[in-house]
C-alpha cells in the first residue's frame, strides 16, 4: 500500500549561479545537514551533489552545481561549466541565485544559459540581510525580471536560514506528481567516503591563500571501520613542490592544523572516533589534465 498521498510531488531542482553566491549554504540549510562544503573563496564546489529534502507532500532532489565561470582557463574549470549546463537542461526546476544588489558578467552569462534552457526558474535574491535600504532592491529586481520570466521571485538570507521554508513551498508548487525517488531519511546520494574527502578539502580551502586551493584535490586511499574507530588515510594532491611545502607548513604545522579540524568535523558526521592520517603528493598540472581528472573522479 502506498503511504504517500496521490498529490505527492517529486523532482530535480538545480541550484545555479555564479561562484560564491551562496548555493551550497542554501542546500545545507534546506536539507538540515552539511553535505556540500562552503568557503568565501569562489569555485569551492566542484561536483554535482544531490541533496534530498523530504516533506509531507513532496521530495525535493536538489542538484548543487559549481559556480558558472566566465573564462574557464583549465580543463577542471571547463568540466565544472559543463556540469552547470547539463543541470540547467536536465532538471524539472532551476533556482537561479544572485546576490542582492550585485550583477556581474558571470550573472549575465548564467541568465543567458537559463533562457536558452527554457527550464522553469525561480529567482532567489540571496544575502538581502546585507542591504540596509530594502527600497533599493526594487529596481534591481525589476532589471532582472524584465529580461526573463520567473515563476517566482524570493528574497532570502541563506546563511541565516531566513525564508528557506518559503523557497521550499514555491518549489513544491512547481514539481511534477511522483512518488519519492529516495527513502525519507536519505539526505544525499554521496558516500561518507566522498564527504570525508570534501571536508578535508574545505579546511584546506579556508586555511590557505587565494590561488592555492584551486590547485588542490583530496582522495581517500583507505576508509576502514573497526568496532570503535574509523581509520582514514587521505592524500592531498598539489601541482608543484612549492605548493607541497605550503600545505605542510613549518614543521608540519599547517597540515596538522588542517587534519585536526577535519577530524573533528568528520567525527561529528559519523558519530564515532576517527583516526585520520594525511599525506601530500605532487601531480604536475593535474587540474588541466583530463587523465588526472578522470583518476580523481572529476570528469563524470
**Residue 105: inside a domain, yes or no?**
yes
The residue out of 124, 140, 173 marking a domain boundary is: 173
Please tell me whether residues 144 and 204 are part of one structural domain: no
**Would you say residue 223 lies in a domain?**
yes
130 and 265 belong to one structural domain? no
Instruction: Convert the pLDDT of each residue in 12-43 to its tens digit.
Output: 999 999 888 888 889 999 998 887 766 555 55
Query: Residue 225 is part of which domain span?
Result: 192-295
**Claim to verify: residue 138 and residue 228 sit in the same structural domain:** no
- Looking at 205-209, 230-234, 236-240, 247-251, which range is the least confident one? 205-209
Place of cell 555564479: 18
Residues 131 and 38 in one domain: yes
Same domain, 74 and 40: yes
Identify the CATH number of the domain in which residue 285 sits: 3.30.300.20
Tell me, yes or no, whether 54 and 101 share the same domain.
yes
Residue ending a domain, choose from 146, 173, 200: 173
Whether residue 127 has pLDDT greater than 90:
yes
Residue 80 has pLDDT above 90, yes or no: no
What is the grid cell recorded at 188? 544525499
CA gap 30, 100 in Å, rounded: 20
In a domain, residue 4? The reply is: no
Is residue 186 domain-resident? Answer: no
Mean pLDDT of 255-279: 93
Task: Inform me whether the pLDDT recorded for 50 exceeds 90.
Answer: no
Question: By mean pLDDT, which of 76-90, 156-170, 268-282 is the weakest?
Answer: 76-90
Residue 1: predicted pLDDT: 38
Q: Where a domain ends, among 173, 207, 231? A: 173
Of the listed ranges 45-49, 242-246, 269-273, the least confidently predicted one is: 45-49
CATH number at residue 73: 3.40.50.300
Share of the chain above pLDDT 90, in %: 54
Q: What are the grid coordinates assigned to 214, written together?
A: 584551486
Average pLDDT of span 247-256: 93
C-alpha distances (whole Å) from 40 to each of 45, 136, 237 are 11, 25, 21
111 & 212 share domain: no
Q: Does 51 share its domain with 149? A: yes
The verdict on residue 185 lying in a domain is no
Q: Looking at the structure, do residues 207 and 260 belong to the same domain, yes or no? A: yes
pLDDT the model gives residue 60:
97
At residue 190, the pLDDT reads 86
- The pLDDT value recorded for residue 189 is 87
CA gap 225, 272 in Å, rounded: 10
What confidence score (pLDDT) does residue 290 get?
84
Is a pLDDT exceeding 80 seen at residue 5?
Answer: no
* 40 & 141 share domain: yes
In-domain check, residue 268: yes
Q: What local confidence, expressed as pLDDT, does residue 104 receive?
A: 92
Q: What is the pLDDT of residues 169-196, one digit of tens each?
A: 999 999 999 999 999 999 998 889 989 9
Tell me the pairing of strands 152-155 and 121-126: parallel
**Domain assignment of residue 76, yes or no:** yes
CA 81 to chain centre: 13
| Residue 27 and residue 152 in one domain | yes
Report if residue 178 sits inside a domain.
Answer: no
> For the chain, how many structural domains are there in total?
2
Do 148 and 256 lie in one domain? The reply is: no
Amino acid at each position: 500500500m502506498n503511504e504517500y498521498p496521490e498529490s505527492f510531488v517529486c523532482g530535480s531542482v538545480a541550484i545555479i549561479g555564479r561562484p560564491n553566491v551562496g548555493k551550497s549554504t542554501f542546500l545545507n540549510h534546506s536539507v538540515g545537514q552539511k553535505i556540500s562544503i562552503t568557503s568565501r573563496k569562489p569555485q569551492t564546489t566542484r561536483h554535482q551533489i544531490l541533496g534530498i529534502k523530504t516533506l509531507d507532500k513532496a521530495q525535493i532532489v536538489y542538484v548543487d552545481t559549481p559556480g558558472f565561470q566566465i573564462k574557464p582557463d583549465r580543463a577542471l574549470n571547463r568540466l565544472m561549466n559543463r556540469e552547470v549546463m547539463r543541470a540547467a537542461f536536465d532538471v524539472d526546476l532551476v533556482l537561479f541565485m544572485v546576490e542582492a544588489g550585485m550583477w556581474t558578467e558571470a550573472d549575465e552569462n548564467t541568465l543567458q544559459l537559463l533562457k536558452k534552457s527554457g527550464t522553469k526558474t525561480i529567482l532567489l535574491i540571496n544575502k538581502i540581510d546585507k542591504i540596509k535600504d530594502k527600497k533599493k532592491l526594487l529596481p534591481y529586481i525589476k532589471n532582472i525580471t524584465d529580461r526573463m520570466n520567473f515563476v517566482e521571485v524570493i528574497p532570502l538570507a541563506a546563511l541565516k536560514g531566513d525564508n528557506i521554508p518559503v523557497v521550499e513551498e514555491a518549489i513544491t508548487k512547481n514539481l511534477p506528481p511522483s512518488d519519492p525517488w529516495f527513502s525519507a531519511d536519505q539526505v544525499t546520494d554521496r558516500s561518507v567516503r566522498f564527504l570525508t574527502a570534501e571536508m578535508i578539502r574545505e579546511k584546506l580551502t579556508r586555511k590557505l591563500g587565494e590561488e592555492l586551493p584551486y590547485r588542490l584535490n583530496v582522495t581517500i586511499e583507505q576508509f576502514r571501520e573497526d568496532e570503535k574507530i574509523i581509520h582514514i588515510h587521505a592524500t592531498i594532491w598539489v601541482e608543484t613542490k612549492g605548493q607541497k611545502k605550503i600545505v605542510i607548513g613549518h614543521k608540519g604545522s599547517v597540515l596538522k592544523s588542517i587534519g585536526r579540524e577535519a577530524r573533528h568535523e568528520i567525527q561529528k558526521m559519523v558519530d564515532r572516533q576517527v583516526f585520520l592520517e594525511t599525506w601530500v603528493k605532487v601531480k604536475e598540472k593535474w587540474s588541466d589534465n583530463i587523465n588526472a581528472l578522470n583518476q580523481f573522479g572529476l570528469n563524470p
